[in-house]
Chains A and B, each alone.
Chain A
Amino acid sequence: MSKDPSIEHDLERAIKAGLRERSRTASCPPMDVVAAYCEHSLASEELSQWEAHFAGCRRCQQLLAAMARVEPSVAPAAAPSWWSRALDWRWLVPAAAAASAFAIWIAVRPGTRPAESPTVIVASRPETQAAPTAAAQPEPSSALRMLEKAQEQFAKKTEPNPAESAQAMRDAIDRLAKKEAPTVAAEAAGAVAGKPAASPPAPAVAPAPRTLASRVDAAAADAAMGRQAGLVVIAPGAQVQWRAGPGGQIEQSRDAGATWDAQNAGTSEDLLAGSAPSDSVCWIVGRGGTILRSTDGRAWSRLESPVSADLVSVAATDAANATIAAVDGQRFMTRDGGGTWEKREH
């Protein structure tokens, strides 16, 4: 191939021109197909069919590009799940105020952890107890009545300016949102103002003693092998995620955290850290030397551990290669998917 920069540049322009050409393809797919494509949930024959269309359709390419620019979604204010219920039930500290509750779990097991380095898991629940006064907020039914009225006026065109009715509807929705979900309304206001959306509250594992455990975590982050945010393990691409916690509970999301499905981990040990180098491979470690691995994203197997100490960190590059760190600073590496472990020096 020529190394002439001008030829290189013109070749790029030629490719660009070729891509802009319109192909004679079938009609564009409906939006539910586009959405399913973006969530990687189309059947294989559908995937082939529609990808062949997308390859030649500029409109669909622009649409997919717009979808790709949507940030990983703001977490909805979902109903409390086993996640927060489990933490609350086990480690609830009486709260001084009714506004919020904090669960603090200090986990120190005699004989397995140095007393000077406890692992602290802190969880908080969003404010759900606040009861706005009747005078300050409208009843939800009246907010919806305003929606109905705005809709009627819009339909009958009695308003001189239909945009005013639409605005009245938006105002009613605002009031409804603020009444029902103050934190969500605050997030929306912040989002509209251009501030980053708040992440959902999640238990955070405090770092182990500053040995190689924290360096393993940093290396994992640098290599983008799979991010870990507290007890939520996110695969590259951010669509597939796992969350794990007390009692061996594991859940998986395939839609960037919008919905979660329970998975059977086959253990009742508390799970403390994870690493997901791909959508189908995930390693999770926990108390008592617990090491779990999934190679298909769904089924879990427990691997033999080189130590019985609590494992507080794992960094994996694939299904075979991973490094784990125990709470006492010991570090082990496997190259054969947990068949054998090699102790690593600090």
Chain B
Amino acid sequence: MALASEGLQQFRDRHQTFIGSLYRRAGAAEWAVGTDVFAEALYRSARHRFSDAELEYSPVESYLDALHVEDLALALGCQAGHEGAWRAFVSRYRPRLYAAARSIAGDQDAQDLAGSIYGELYGLKERAGQRRSLFRYYHGRSSLPTWLSAVLAQRHVDGLRAAARLEPLDEARHEIHARRDSDASDPESGLVRRRYVAILTRVVRAALAELDPRERLRLAHYYLDGLTLAQAAALFGEHESTASRKLERTRQGLRARIEQTLRDEYRFDDGAVRECLTVGIEGWTMDLSRELSQETAGSDVQ
């Protein structure tokens, strides 16, 4: 704690004038947020981005200048229970919070999802007798509505993942036992199946590993998340036609690479390619279901 206090004091001394200008820009006084509290919030935000050592030589003021300080001040005011801040928050952001919850969770679950967040923003949970607001995790790096959407999305996704863990586990167990029985009665088929799974997983993993992370992410959103081109394009800050072109190029390139490797490296003809894919995918999919069931859900808001 002493080190943190020292770091905060050095931060304040070094950037005193700039902090003052941000304070005025933020309109923090309107929500009765003092300069000390505001400066500490800026320090915590900077420490999330930079280490204490980095704070000395990094372009901290550029980072601070890009923060959404008005939203940060409002969040600090709400955290402190300021009536005017809450009034402003409710009028500005409550409809958006509920609209975002509907987009994320659907009409039926939106009310509960948004309501649970709302309660935690206000501070229904307590620790050591002190109300703890979810706003303490907001550091101004994005606009407040986007951060709220992220919190909603995290709650929703973690809830779905926790629920999904139970289903594939039972199915996977059943499939594993069925496969063991089949392999025991026909060892040669089992050997072929295991060989095709090994080949296919190796080839596909190698092909995916060659992709740029963004292209892999693009494929995941297309194949697994069902995003529209417009949604994926917005996520990457691209024009929809650009996103479409890149996706198609990546998909075609990947398919060609996988097929070519099976033909060149393993000398598979059409029939063998078809068999490897069919048999290999069946076995691989079952293994993935078992792995998915062993994944843990994510942590709380950080």
Contacts and interface: CB of A to CB of B under 8 A. Distances in A.
Interface string B272-302: 0110011011001100100110010011011
A21 B255 CA distance: 18
Contact of A187 (B95, B123, B208, B260): B95
Contacts of B298: 28, 59
Contacts of A206: none
Given A66-B156, A73-B99, A31 B137 contact: yes
Interface stretch (A47-55, A262-270, A330-338): A47-55
B191 interface: no
Given A32-B48, A33-B141, A258-B145, A238 B234 contact: yes
A55 B239 contact: no
A255 B143 contact: yes
B64 interface: no
A154 interface: yes
B182 interface: no
B34 interface: no
A61 B86 contact: no
A65 B227 contact: yes
Nearest to A47: B214
A142 to B, nearest CB: 11
B269 to A, nearest CB: 11
A20 B288 contact: yes
B185 interface: no
Contacts of B251: 15
A12 B255 contact: yes
Residues of B in contact with A, size category = 35 or more
A188 B237 CA distance: 29
Interface string A1-12: 110101110111
Given A191-B98, A191-B99, A15 B200 contact: no
B92 interface: yes
Nearest to A169: B119
B239 A278 contact: yes
Contacts of A192: 98, 102, 110-111
Interface in A129-165: 140-141, 144, 147, 151, 154-155
Contact of B143 (A16, A39, A61, A71): A39
B83 interface: yes
A109 B284 CA distance: 73
Contact of A32 (B123, B137, B278): B137
13 contacts: A10-B281, A16-B224, A31-B302, A32-B150, A35-B141, A63-B153, A64-B217, A76-B91, A151-B124, A155-B131, A166-B124, A181-B90, A181-B91
Interface of B: 48, 66, 68, 70-71, 83, 86-87, 90-96, 98-100, 102-104, 107, 110-111, 115, 118-119, 122-124, 126, 131, 137-147, 149-154, 156-158, 160-161, 200-201, 204-205, 207-208, 211, 213-214, 216-217, 219-221, 223-227, 231-235, 237-241, 251-252, 254-256, 258-260, 270, 273-274, 277-278, 280-281, 284-285, 288, 291-292, 295, 298-299, 301-302
Given A1-B260, A11-B259, A173-B118, 7 more contacts: A32-B137, A141-B83, A151-B131, A181-B90, A191-B102, A258-B143, A258-B145
